[in-house]
Each structure stands twice: as C-alpha cells, then as structure tokens.
C-alpha cells in the first residue's frame, strides 16, 4: 500500500487525510478546520500545521500533496480565489515546505479534483481528453489527457458574450438571479457548447455541490460528448493532491 497525505485548502475550510493512493481510499480520519477569515498566508499555513498535528503528525518519508484555489506555476500562487490577495505572486510551495519540514507537491484545487476523478472516480478507465468543471461560486476546471494533467486551464474565465463565463453560468449566478433549472441550463448549454468547440473532449464531468442535483439540469444539455456528474465530491481534492504527490 502506497500512502500520502492530501491537504485541500478552500475558501471556507481546510481538509486533510492520509490516502491509499493505489485505491484512493482514505486510511485516516478526514479532518477539517475552518479557513481563517483573513485568508492570509501565515494564518492558513498555521492551520495546515494544526490539521496535520490533529491527524497524529507526519510519518517519516510520507509524500505530501497540497491543493489550493489559485493558478499555481512553479510553486508560486499567481491568483487568489476567496482568499487574501497576499497570495498573488507568492512562492507558496516553499513556505509550506519550510513549515512542514519536507518537500510537497503543490497544485491547483480543480486540477487535483480532476486527477482524482480520472484515477479513482467517474472517469476511471476513460482514454482521451477528460474535461472536469466544478460549478460553485465560480467555475473551476481541469483537463486530463490520457492520464496526464494539463495544469491551470481556468476555463471559468473564458469570455462568452464579452464577460467571464462564470459570471453568468456558475451556480452562484443561478442563485443570485434566482434562475430556474431550465433557465440556468440554457446558460450552461452555451458554455459547454463553447468548450466542445474549443477542446472536443471525450468526456465532460460536472462537480461542485450542485452535482448532487444533476438530474435537474444535466439531462437538459445536448452535447456531443457524454456529460456526467463527478463522483468523489468533497474528497476529490484530498485524493488528487495525494496521488500527485506520489507520482511526483
């Protein structure tokens, strides 16, 4: 059994568990601590250290993967979603490594979720191009081709009708405008049709909390590729970060 620690840092909560990366199963309790309201680097790193202590500490030599709501390039956070703007341009990977006393694998949160779905979830065994989207406050995305991640796709920020796609098609947009499922599906149709035009994916996955209600909107979409709900839900980031840490 190959094990790794996966940490998923979100705008409201920081989650972590030890994962059997051969099967994707969590082999420890899944811990969660609220994300500090400031969202600042020192406070978030301190919570990650606290979470690991609650899990019983880091066994010697165990790989560690951390996923984060930002564009991650060469260990630096180049954006900041629902956290402090102090993260922008920060050499975040090195800060986490200093605090934890070991090397880590640092990755965008949607990318980690996409890798988990391919390895352990709804896209397991699917060849070709898998496109994951997460519908929530915004729209996160991941592109995985034959098991290889193409990082930082940020497809929620495609311009459709002259504005960010997520401003009109995210679940938050549905809630904010009090759209019916049918009205929201029309916006999603436009968005996913555009994604198909650009990428011709073999499978489209839809994650985020609203995927629990997938029967209310996914059947309304007419696309060339199959479009199905993601499977791993709140554990996807933990599992994907752990898997990538071992692969790294």
Rounded Cα distance, 114 and 167, in Å: 22
Query: Residue 10 phi/psi, 5° resolution?
Result: -120, 175
In the structure, what pLDDT confidence band is assigned to residue 12 with cuts at 50, 70 and 90?
Answer: confident
Question: Is it the case that residue 29 has pLDDT exceeding 90?
Answer: yes
Residue 152: its pLDDT value, please? 96
Residue 80: its pLDDT value, please? 86
Helix (H, G, I), strand (E, B) or coil at 50: helix
Residue 83: its pLDDT value, please? 86
Which tens digit of pLDDT belongs to each residue from 216-226? 999 999 999 99
Residue 248: its pLDDT value, please? 60
Residue 51: its pLDDT value, please? 97
Which tens digit of pLDDT belongs to each residue from 189-212? 999 999 999 999 999 999 988 999
Dihedral sign for Cα 54, 56, 57, 59, please: negative
* Structural domains of the chain sorted by starting position, each given as residue range(s) with its CATH number in brackets: 3-111+235-247 (3.30.420.40), 125-231 (3.30.420.40)
Which tens digit of pLDDT belongs to each residue from 157-177? 999 989 999 999 999 999 999
Local structure of residue 90 (DSSP, 8 states): B
Which tens digit of pLDDT belongs to each residue from 107-161? 999 999 999 999 999 999 999 999 999 999 899 999 999 999 999 999 999 999 8
Of residues 51 and 248, more confidently modeled: 51
Local structure of residue 23 (DSSP, 8 states): T
Rounded Cα distance, 147 and 158, in Å: 24
Rounded Cα distance, 91 and 99, in Å: 13
Question: Is it the case that residue 247 has pLDDT exceeding 80?
Answer: no
Question: Is it the case that residue 81 has pLDDT exceeding 90?
Answer: no
The share of the chain scoring above pLDDT 90, in percent, equals 93
Rounded Cα distance, 57 and 61, in Å: 12
Q: Count of alpha carbons within 13 Å of 178, Cβ hemisphere only? A: 0
In the structure, what pLDDT confidence band is assigned to residue 188 with cuts at 50, 70 and 90?
Answer: very high
pTM of the model: 0.94
Residue 173 tokens, joined? 């947009």
Q: Which helix (H) or strand (E) holds 99?
A: helix 92-100
Residue 1: its pLDDT value, please? 83
- Average pLDDT score over residue span 89-100: 97
Rounded Cα distance, 57 and 36, in Å: 21
């Amino acid at each position: 059994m190959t094990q790794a620690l996966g940490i998923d840092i979100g705008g409201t909560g920081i989650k972590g568990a030890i994962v059997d990366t051969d099967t994707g199963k969590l082999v420890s309790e899944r811990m969660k601590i609220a994300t500090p309201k400031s969202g600042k680097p020192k406070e978030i790193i301190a919570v990650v250290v606290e979470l690991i202590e609650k899990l019983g500490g880091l066994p010697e030599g165990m790989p560690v993967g951390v996923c984060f709501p930002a564009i991650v390039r060469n260990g630096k956070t180049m954006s900041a979603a629902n956290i402090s703007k102090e993260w922008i341009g920060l050499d975040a990977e090195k800060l986490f490594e200093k605090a934890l006393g070991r090397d880590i694998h640092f990755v965008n949160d949607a990318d980690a979720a996409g890798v988990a779905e391919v390895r352990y979830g709804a896209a397991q065994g699917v060849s070709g191009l898998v496109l994951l989207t997460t519908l929530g406050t915004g729209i996160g995305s991941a592109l995985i081709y034959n098991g290889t991640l193409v990082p930082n796709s940020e497809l929620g920020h495609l311009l459709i009708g002259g504005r960010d796609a997520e401003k009109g098609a995210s679940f938050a947009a549905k809630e904010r405008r009090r759209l019916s499922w049918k009205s929201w599906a029309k916006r999603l149709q436009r968005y996913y049709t555009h994604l198909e035009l650009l990428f011709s994916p073999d499978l489209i996955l839809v994650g985020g909390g609203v995927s629990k209600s997938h029967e209310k909107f996914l059947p309304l979409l007419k696309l060339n590729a199959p479009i199905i709900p993601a499977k791993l839900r709140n554990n996807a980031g933990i599992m994907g970060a752990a898997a990538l840490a071992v692969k790294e």
